[in-house]
Every structure is written in structure tokens, then in C-alpha cells.
Amino acid sequence: MSKPLGCQPDLGSMHIFRDTNFDFMGNKWPLIGLSLLLAAAGLVSLVIEGGPRYGIDFKGGTLLYVKFAEKPSEESIRAALGKKITGEISVIAVQGTNELMIQTETRNERELQSTRQLIEDTLSSVFGSTPDKLNFTGAASARVYERLNLPLQKAGVFINDEDLRKLVTETLSFRDKQKGGIIANFDELSKVPGMTPQILTVLKQESYLGKYLVRNTEVVGPKVGKELRTQAILATLYALAGMLIYVGLRFEFVYGFAAVIAVFHDTIITIGLFSLFHKEISLTVIAALLTLVGYSMNDTIVVFDRIRENLQRGRKGDMTEIVNRSINETLSRTIMTSGLTFLTAVALWLFGGQVLNGFAFALVVGILVGTYSSIFVASPILVFWQDFMKKRGDSNKGGAAPAVTTAKKLAAK
Amino acid sequence: MHRSLWIKIASIVGVTLVCLYGIVGLPTNQKELVDNFNTNIKLGLDLKGGSQLVLQVQVQDAFKAEADQLIDRIKTELKTASVDYGSFDRNEPSTIEDADKIEIVGKGIPATKAGDFRRLINERFPDWNITSTSSSDYRMTLKPTAALDLRKKTVASAIRTIESRIDGLGLAESSVQQRGAAETIPEILIQMPGVDDPARIKQILQTAALLELHEVQEGPFASRDQMLTQFNGILPPGTKAVRGVGQQESWFLLKRSPVITGRDLRDSRASQDPMNNSWATSFVLSQDAAGRFGRFTEANINKRLAIVLDGQVRSAPTIQSKISDNGQITGASSQQDANDLALVLRAGSLPASVVYLEERTVGPSLGADSIREGLMSGLVGLIAVVLVMLVYYKKAGINATVALILNAIILIAILAFFGATLTLPGIAGVVLTIGMAVDSNVLIFERIREELRAGKAIRAAIDNGFSRAFLTIIDTHVTAVVSSAFLFIFGTTNVKGFAVTLIIGLLANVFTAVFVSKVIFDWQLSGNNKVTTLSI
């Protein structure tokens, strides 16, 4: 499987980057320019949109994911809702499915339940219902059981209580797990273990198949939304402060500062891209942002570690050279790790489904930006600082720059 | 092979077995394996389906009730002390914030009795401040400490009531807790994973379940106006007008103070009328209340008794004979309705009305989709990572894969051990953990390659590679743990879920990437002292 390799190593090994010597710091200006441009574009988009597009988690409102038996017409549903509900209503088709996302804003705590009820009532009047029968689509197990119990006895179908409960559970589990919540035809249920033609006949008598299913409901009051927003932002800021302090202690303050600036850069660009692509920031996206902060910080620390090691070894050259060498030495690792995590994120994006979509998008963007920022944002800050201290040191007739002295002190330990 | 290496391998195998046991127990067949897995790994309601509610307790209701009670008691006290009075009224605070501003205005107390009145309030009702607004009028306000106590008491009792209703529903995995840090924040967070009929539960939780039995004075009237006309616009003292339930408007004039309230119930059950198969809810009174009720019904045969639930007259049957300890509330639309009412009556009434601030409901079919898609994408991602590692690092890629899988096992086992629930943000934590686990291996392998290129012998290269990379791994991991700790302390529930999985994953990773991976290298090299090749 593997070729033998001797003490002359690497004959059979695969390498992407080996002994590279790219001049990263020499080309920093155009890339810093690009960073600033991206960040500025994001900020401008944010300003134009009046802040990030918060999901209802953060601004309050009503959100329903509704699945339909057949592909629905967005316009007709929007029109029907518009007659009943004042204010902004958005009806968006979920790509590749028969689902619609219906969302309204709620400014008042008291409207919360009524808005949601209005939406459900409108859907029910558009798609019709059969009075005196149970809507099998979306029915809970207790309701189905209660509905079948007497009619089965009347029809002379003998099934004991325990078996009936079990059958109902199995039937609903088939409906939800195999058929995604909606069946087109009662006869599909004949596959359920324990289902007999007689029971199916009674079920057909007692219930009808609703043409839509509310799969997910979120109703958030504006006050709760605002609190969640404040708390999420505060928690993130505290976490950043924590990193600043830890990295500052382990390395030097300027390293912590540089790392936090890089992470900030990534977050701003990602939020900006969300704004550009009209994607909403929800609680899940916050989790993704925290993940990308983690990735980016990890990347930055790996590079910083190498810089510190090279300084400790007393390598020749000025800071620019040392930073360049450190980045080149870790480049192979950086590409490998980022590439692999990027693969995971892409898999999540492609196969993760509707719930994970916003999350995966943030990760895909975040990993790219995070890798880039540890090289082109965090590292240049160290070089700038060093140059600045050196100039000041020269003018004060000082000796070596502080980063080097500290590094030497560390090495002496 | 060295003895110490054996000990290390044994300890790794031991940890793996213990973790596997924690996840799936000791299954004898495939079904048991799946069942055990499902019991041990709790999925949050965003993945599994279920409902999360935030209720706000309208504490001002409790303040108003407290003031009403005070007015009744003051009037009784004044009567026994033969002090005249004009009227007592309270204001109507409408929001939670205004609840503390509750005040009672007493009018027409003779100036000669001013000292007695003040003494009465100060001695008997020490929770209230009293100030005079004129020689005969007084204003009473609730003292701040008493107001704070009342708030806490109201929220605590609402939580207890809701808990017992949820227990009554048999929702085993549910949790009811106060939302927010301060005890006085009147918000309750209810999480009910796996619930398939959230609308019904919302109804049950929101029902005040305030049951009162009042003597009927007059009625029913077709409208409130008709009733008022009969009494020349003013209701007789000690009575109140209450609407009857149903489409057709009807009004009853009832005696103000109830004969029996929900607190007097000992039990309640759904029952079926054998005549017409309709459902009702029967209740049984406590011993003390039964005595009272027996005397009352005996003395009031042929009068009518109104059964009032949440401010509406449900029915007003005529008393046929002495009734001692039971009654029935008719008019349930189904067995489940009758059951639900029995349940809320057993659990007791809410001390104040509640409104919903937040609701998140994930239907069971969406939950099933999320799990399937989440697993699918996770597997695709993992397989891709493992393939690349194997192609790029050859045999060493196997080390990385073993370490990665062991990491996942330990992470899941610890989550199962603490009974933690896995939520969507938790999965985000897992994704970051896997990323950092891969990174740790890559860091180590790249270091070993560097050492080999520098001409080091294989053993030395491996040792150096690990020890050098170790410093970096510690730095990256501790930074992530520090930031996660802050997220855990200050974050919302969702963010906490992220932080917990990440912290566990990172700790597991230090063990797997640094220790386990090294042991595998050592094992490969053992028994072969002149190693000249390393597949990396």
C-alpha cells in the first residue's frame, strides 16, 4: 500500500506544498486592500439594509414552514394572506421541495398568537377542510386513537386497546418518517405492519387527507428577540475578550490583539456576505459564526506558534522574513486542515437540508475567510507592530524589539 | 514490546469499551442496540421535533387579587369593630411593570375613628403602607419588600402549577424552568421534546382553571343590558354579573362570594353519561369543603347553583337534594376535552393569567428529515476527510482515522453520561471538534515530515514531531476552551449547547490526537528496532 521510504525521506509521500518560499508579506498590501474592500462592501450593504437581516429569532415575528401535497402557487397564497393580515408578509418557496416559508413581522407582543392563527385559518380556508372528519395530515396519535376507537367497535373490527395504540403509533411514524408527513392516498398505509383492510376502511370513513402540513412554527415576541440579540452579542464579545487575554498571556499582548482583529475581520465579512445574499441571521447562524471564530482563531494560533518558535530559535532576519518563513513552513498544514474542514462544510451545505443551510453557508464562507485572515490580516499586524517598535526603539536608542526579547525570555525558561 | 506500551494500549481499549458501553449498553440484538442508543442519546427538540414555549405570567393579576382580598378583609374587620366607611376601591394596573403601583383608596372613614383605622391597617396588614389624602380618605400601597415577595410567590406558584399539569400529561422529558437570572422575571421556559400535539398542550397550560360555585340570584338574561334594566342600572350589593358559555348570549346574576372554589377539590376525573354517551368532568370535594357544601345545598334546595370556570358560567343546575362531596361539569366536546379539564382541575389554578412570548414547534416529520440529512451530510463529510487523510498520509492516515473515530465515541459517551441533549448548535460544536481533531493530526504529521526532511531518525522524528506539535495543540485548544467557557457562562441556551459539546470534544481530542495517535505509532515501531521506513 505504501512505498518504503528510508532516511532519505519523502520519496513516496504526497506533498502539496513543500519547501515553499512565497513572499506573503511582500504582497500584503494588495490583499489587505482586498480585505478592506470586502469588509467595506459588507458594511455598505449593512448600512443600506439598515443593519443585518435578523431572522425572527432576533426581531420577533411569526414563521411557518408549510409542506404541501402538490406544488403550491406562492402568489395565490400571498394574496389570500394579504387580505387577512396587515403588514409585511413574505412567502418564499423552499427550493427543490413543495414547501413554503411564510413569515410575518410582529411588533406587538399581543398580536403573536393571533397572527399565527390567522395564517393557519387562511391556509385552511384556501385548501378546504372536511367538517366532522379528522384531518389525518398532522393529526396527533391521541386524536387518531380516539377517533378510531368507537367506530372500529361499531364496524365489528376486533382489536384490543394496546394493539390499537401501537398500530396508531406505527401508522403515524410511517407517515412522518417514511413519507415526510404527507401521504397522497390512504392506501399507502396498507404497508404499515398490523394494518388490515377493515381498519383502513374505518380510517377512510373517519378522516380525510389535508393538502398541507405545518412542519415548523416559530413565534417570537419582539421583546424576547431583542434580549436574545443582546445576549448573543454580549456572549461573543466576552468570548473574544477571553481569547484576547489568553493569547496575550501565552504570547504577547500584540499577538492577542492581532488574532482578535483577524477574527473580527472574518465575522464582519461573513455578516456582510449574509447581507449581500439577503440571508437572515438566526440563532443557528450565530452558532456557525461562533464556529468560524473558533476555526479562524485556531489557524491564527498555529501560525503564531511557529513565529514564536522561530523567534526563540534566534533565526536570522527581520520580522518580515521570520513571519514569511513561518507561514511557508506551516502552509502545507494550513492547506490540508482548511481543505479538509472545507470539505466537511461543503458536505453539510449540500446534504444538510433546510435546517442546516444557513449554518453551512456561514461555515463555507467562514473557513475561506478565516484561513486567509490568519495569513494576511493577523500576521501583517505583527510585522507592523514590530516595525513600529523598532523605529521607536531606534529613536530611543533601544535594543532589540520587544517581541524578540520576550521570546528569548521564554526560551530561557 | 515494552510493558508500558501494553499498559497504554490496554487503557485505550478500556476507555473505548467503557464509552461504547455508555452509548449502547450491552445489546444482544440489533433492535436492542438501536433502542439503547436512542435512550442514551437525547436529541434536542430542534432535531427530534417537539415544542418550546416561553410564558409570561401576568403578575398584575395576582396583585389585583391580593388587593381585592385585602378590601374584603378590611370591610369585615371594620364591621366587627363597628367603624363606618364609605367605599373601598382599587386601581387597575394593566402591565407587569405597573403591578407594584397597585393601590386601594378608602373613603368616608369618620375622622374620630382615624386612629383606630390606622392601627388596624398597621397591625393586621403590615404589608401595606397607609397615607391619608384628606380627613376621611386614605390611600394604601403595597410595601416594596412585600411587592417583591408577591412577585416571586406568583411566579413560583405558576411554575408549580404548570409543572404538575405537564406531569399529569405524562411528558417525561419535559422541563419547566424560570427564564432569566432574577427570580422576579415573570417568564417561564417550557421545553417538551417529542410532543406531537402542541396546540392541545398550549391550551392546557393557558387555562387558568379557576373553578367557582356560586349561588344564582337571577337569570339567565338575554343580555347584560336586560339584566341592568331589571335592577334600574345598579346591581344589588354582593352580587356580580357573569356570562354564560356558548354561542347564544346569556347572563347570570350571581352572589359575589363563591360557595366552593377549585382549592376545595380533592380529585377530578372524566366521566361518561350512560344516557347519551356525552363526556363530562366530575369532581370530588375535600372533607372540610364537603361539610360546608352539604349544609349549603341542604338549606338551598330548589335554588340554582352556577358552575363558573374561568369567568364563564358552564352550567346552572337546580339543587334537587343535599349534595355532599361531588359535582359534575358538563359540556365537554370529547373524551380528551373532559380529560384535559380534569387534569387542570387536579393540578390547580394559575395564580395569574399567562401569555405566550415565544413558541417554537418542530413537527415530527421535519425532525425526522433533520436527523436523516444531518447524519447523511456528517457521514459524507467524514468519509471525504478519511479518504483524503489515507491518500495523503498513507498508513499514518489510519492513525488519524482511528483517533477521529475514538474522539467521536468519547464525545458522544460523555454527552450520554451527563444526560446532555444534542441540539443543532451542539452539532456545530461537533463539526468544529472534528475540524480541530483533523488539524491536530495534520499538525503532528507535518511536523514529523519536517523532522524527517531534516534528516532525523524515524523514532526521533516521531518523538520530536509529537512534542513540538503538542505545544501548538495545547495553545489552540486552551484558547477554544477559554472562549467556550465564556460562551457557556454568558450565552443563551443555544449558545450554551454549542459551548458544552465543543469543550467536551476538545478535551477528548487532546487525549485521542496526542496520546492515542502516539501509542499507535509506538506500536507500529515496536518489536522492530531497526525501522527504516515510515509510511506518512
CA distance A143 to chain B (A): 8
- Give B190-241 pLDDT, tens digit per residue: 988 888 777 888 888 888 888 888 889 887 888 888 888 888 877 787 788 8
Q: How far is residue B71's CA from residue A206's CA, in Å, rounded to a whole number?
A: 55
DSSP string, B257-309: S-SEEGGGEEEEEEEE-TTT--EEEEEEE-HHHHHHHHHHHHHTTTSBEEEEE
d(CA A251, CA A308): 8
- How high is the pLDDT of residue A254? 92
Q: Which residue of B has its CA nearest to A295?
A: B432
Question: Are A311 and A234 members of one domain?
Answer: yes
Q: Quick one: how far is CA B349 from the chain centroid?
A: 18
In the structure, what pLDDT confidence band is assigned to residue B532 with cuts at 50, 70 and 90? low
Is B340 an 8 Å CB contact of chain A? no
* Contact with chain A for residue B386, Cβ under 8 A: no
ipTM greater than cut 0.85: no
B382 touches chain A (CB under 8 A): yes
CB of B339 within 8 Å of a chain A CB? The answer is no
Of the candidates A176, A210, A244, which is a domain's last residue?
A210
Over B90-114, what HEC string results?
A: ECCCCCCHHHHHCEEEEECCCHHHH
Which DSSP string corresponds to B237-260?
Answer: TTEEEEEESSSS--EEEEESS-SE
C-alpha grid cell, residue A407: 521570546
Contacts with A11 from chain B: Cβ below 8 Å: none
Query: What average pLDDT score do residues B507-535 get?
Result: 82
Inter-chain touch A247–B334, beta carbons under 8 Å? no
- In which band, very low, low, confident or very high, does the pLDDT at A396 lie, cut at 50, 70 and 90? low
Neighbours of B164 (CB within 10 A): 16
Cβ neighbors of B29 (< 8 A, separation 6 or more) are none
Pairing of strands B326-332, B279-285: antiparallel
Distance CA A213, CA A348 (A): 26
Residues A152 and A251 reside in one and the same domain: no
Give how far B109 is from chain A: nearest CA, Å.
Answer: 41
Region B290-312: what's the mean pLDDT? 87
Q: Do B442 and A113 touch (CB under 8 A)?
A: no
Convert the pLDDT of each residue in B459-504 to its tens digit.
899 999 999 999 889 989 998 898 888 888 888 777 788 889 889 9
Q: Return the DSSP state at B317.
A: P
Residue A108, CA distances (Å) to A54, A62, A86, A273 in order: 17, 11, 13, 30
Q: Give me the residues of A, 105-134, that contact B with CB < 8 A.
A: 109-110, 112-113, 116
Q: In A39-61, which positions are buried (b, 16+ CB within 10 angstroms) versus exposed (e)?
A: beebeebbeeeeebbbbbbbbbb
What structural domains and CATH numbers belong to chain B?
Answer: 3-47+365-525 (1.20.1640.10), 60-147 (3.30.1240), 211-334 (3.30.1360.200)
Run of H or E residues at B191: strand B187-193
Indicate the residue of B364, B374, B489 with minimum beta-carbon distance to A176: B364
Check whether residue A287 and residue A315 sit in a common domain. yes
- The predicted-structure confidence for B62-114, as pLDDT tens digits, reads as follows 898 888 888 888 888 888 888 888 888 888 888 888 888 999 998 888 888 88
Structural domain boundaries, residue A229:
28-53+221-412
Q: Which of A184, A210, A236 is the last residue of a domain?
A: A210
Q: Which residue of A has its CA nearest to B479?
A: A243
Tell me A208's DSSP state: E
Domain termination site, one of A128, A156, A179: A128
Distance from CA of A8 to the nearest CA of B (A): 7
Q: What are the distances in angstroms from CA A76 to CA A91, A127, A130, A139, B293?
A: 10, 11, 21, 26, 59
Q: Between these two residues, A129 and B7, which has the higher pLDDT value? A: B7
Q: CB distance B486–A214 less than 8 Å?
A: no
- The verdict on A183 and A259 lying in the same domain is no
The answer to pTM > 0.80 is no
Cβ contact, residue pair A13, B394, below 8 Å:
yes
Same structural domain for residues A277 and A165?
no
- Both A391 and A282 in a single domain? yes
Mutation target for A interface from B357, B362, B510: give the one with most A CBs within 10 A. B357
Residue A144 has pLDDT above 50, yes or no: yes
> Residue A48 falls within a domain, yes or no?
yes
Q: Cα dist. A71→A68, A115, B364 in Å?
A: 6, 24, 21
Task: Burial-class residue B39 by CB neighbours within 10 Å (0-12, 13-18, 19+).
Answer: exposed
To test the contact with chain A by mutation, choose from B51, B365, B383, B496 the residue with the greatest count of A C-beta atoms within 10 A, namely B365
Angle between helices B493-509 and B395-417 (to 10 degrees): 130
A174 and A245 in a single domain? The answer is: no
Q: Rounded CA gap, B241 and A151, in Å?
A: 43
Q: Which residues, other chains included, contact A394 with Cβ-Cβ below 8 Å and sequence gap of 6+?
A: none
Residues A47, A120, single domain; the answer is no
Query: Which of A10, A140, A302 shows the shortest C-beta gap to B449?
Result: A10
